[in-house]
Structure 1
Amino acid sequence: MGSALQLQTDFVSDDLRKAAWLSKDTVQTRRLLALEQTYDGATPSEAARVGGVTVQIVRDWVERFNAHGPEGLLNVKAPGKRPRMRTRFLKRSIFE
């Protein structure tokens, strides 16, 4: 018995469809179209089928969408490791 996904009310399905059409990121487009289905009354499992993922991933997308809007559905590169040498020491060692 899954609960209905609660999407923010600032958008309607047409807004997501338009954002998906305008997006140049195919991953974001797929996610927007899957969430658009929920605005049209689809169950989480139907939205997952559209997105080609599991229901849990759709729920994660909903959380990201509610927190950050359509931009939250873009993949963001991880920041990576911090350098071992601090910047000021690195600059000093380069110029010496």
Structure 2
Amino acid sequence: MPIALRADFAAGGLRAAARQTKDAAQARRLLALAAIYDGASRTEAARIGGVTLQIVRDWVLRFNAEGPAGLVDRKAPGQAARLNDAHRTALAAALESGPIPAIHGVVRWRLIDLCQWLWEEHRVTVAKQTLSREVRALGYRKLSARPRHHAQAAGAVDLYGMARPSSRLRYAGRVT
């Protein structure tokens, strides 16, 4: 026995909603359900929608629960976050205080070191890319020392920034 559609809608109302929507997928779903209201079989509705019977059943369930708005494509929920608020608070505290070389074995935090620290302290496995995203979301940025050539003279940078005299060459003409 197929699941009945809501009684507070009719085929004409669904067709009007399909005309007004900007979402093509929602319009296709509304038209398939309008055909069911007109007495078409679920198989014919599936053909109209270009889907299987199971998907038509899912549309009917969503439409009955939420109305026409339930037929809009939704964003997939994705995987749940690895770090909760307590982990983020502890991570922020560790970033603020910095590593203790005798305990942590490092003199500055790298992402891989923080991944290891999270595992040792909270038994949470996090990839470097994920941790980078979390650290940036906490408002921290990667800082590194400006690279300096090992043979650079002490005053070379100061001389480079000074104004230079103009070295324009005047064109005197062609020499023959």
> Mind listing any 5+ residue stretches in structure 2 that lack a counterpart?
93-134, 142-176
What secondary structure does 2:76 align onto?
coil
Paired residue for 1:28, among 26, 39, 48?
26
2:6 pairs with 1:8:
yes
2:130 pairs with 1:84:
no
**Number of residues of Structure 1 aligned to a counterpart in Structure 2:** 92
Partner residue in 1 for 2:49: 51
Structure 1 vs Structure 2: percent identity of aligned residues? 51
Shift, 1:83, TM fit: 5.2
Shift, 1:78, TM fit: 1.6
**TM-score with structure 1 length normalisation?**
0.84
Deviations 1:32-73 (A, max 9, x none): 000000000001111111111111111110000000100110
Shift, 1:85, TM fit: 6.5
- Structure 2 CA distance, aligned partners of 1:32 and 1:76? 16
* 1:49 counterpart letter in structure 2: R
Partner residue in 2 for 1:65: 63
Shift, 1:79, TM fit: 2.7
What secondary structure does 1:11 align onto?
coil
2:140 pairs with 1:94:
yes
What secondary structure does 1:94 align onto?
coil
What secondary structure does 2:9 align onto?
coil
- More contact order relative to length (CA 8 Å, sep ≥ 6): 1
> Mind listing any 5+ residue stretches in structure 1 that lack a counterpart?
none
- Structure 2 CA distance, aligned partners of 1:72 and 1:24? 15
Shift, 1:84, TM fit: 3.3
Partner residue in 2 for 1:42: 40
Most deviating of 76-85 and 64-73 = 76-85
CA 1:85/1:70 → structure 2, altered by over 3 Å: closer, same or farther? Answer: same
8 A Cα contact 1:23 1:29, kept in partner: yes
More helix as a share of residues: 1
Deviations 1:1-49 (A, max 9, x none): xx34410011110110001001111110100000000000001111111
What secondary structure does 2:140 align onto?
helix
* 1:33 counterpart letter in structure 2: L
